[in-house]
Amino acid sequence: MREKDVFCKIIDGEIPCYKIYEDEEVLAFLDISQVTKGHTLVVPKKHYDNFLATPQDVMHKVMDVAQRIGQVSIRLLGAKGVNILTNCYKEAGQSVMHFHVHVIPRYGDDEGLRLEFKDKKVDQLSLPVLAKDISNELK
């Protein structure tokens, strides 16, 4: 049997958390390492390894709660922006292999947190083929 991950243990009440939302399928709680004030994780109660492995209806429910918490971050906490992000697989930074969405309120001077997209100066000529290949695979 698969060893329980830390979020399954939280869901099963074996590990405490600072819960902020719960319904039949979704749980949200404060991240133990608050990268900014109010940093929250939203998880499905049923185990799925990550976003990509989660059925659409469950994923929608998790994203719905993430959206609402993002709205509360602005309304209640005074955040000026919010990052909604989810890491899939360890190469993308996933450390807990249970689907979770980070809701990270941003206040404008968030020391130590920098999400940066650097332009890798790709060969622009390769982009039409790349776009077509991905587009075809989606059909």
Catalytic residue among 47, 60, 98, 100: 100
* Number of neighbouring beta carbons within 10 Å of residue 127: 10
Q: Which is nearer to ligand AMP, 15 or 77 (CB)?
A: 15
**Cα–Cα distance between 24 and 77 in angstroms, integer?**
26
Site string for ligand AMP, 99-138 (x = CB under 6 A): ----------------------------------------
Amino acid at 38: G
Whether 100 is a known active-site residue: answer: yes
CA distance 68 to 114: 23
By CB under 6 A, is residue 50 in contact with ligand AMP? no
Q: Is 31 in the site for ligand AMP (CB under 6 A)?
A: yes
Candidates 13, 24, 75, 95: give the one binding ligand AMP (CB under 6 A).
95
Alpha helix stretches (DSSP H) within the chain = 6-11, 56-75, 127-138
Per CB under 6 A, 17 contacts ligand AMP:
yes
Q: Is 44 exposed, middle or buried (0-12, 13-18, 19+ CB in 10 A)?
A: buried
Which positions touch ligand AMP (CB under 6 A)? Answer: 6, 15, 17, 31-33, 41, 87, 93-96
Catalytic residues: 100
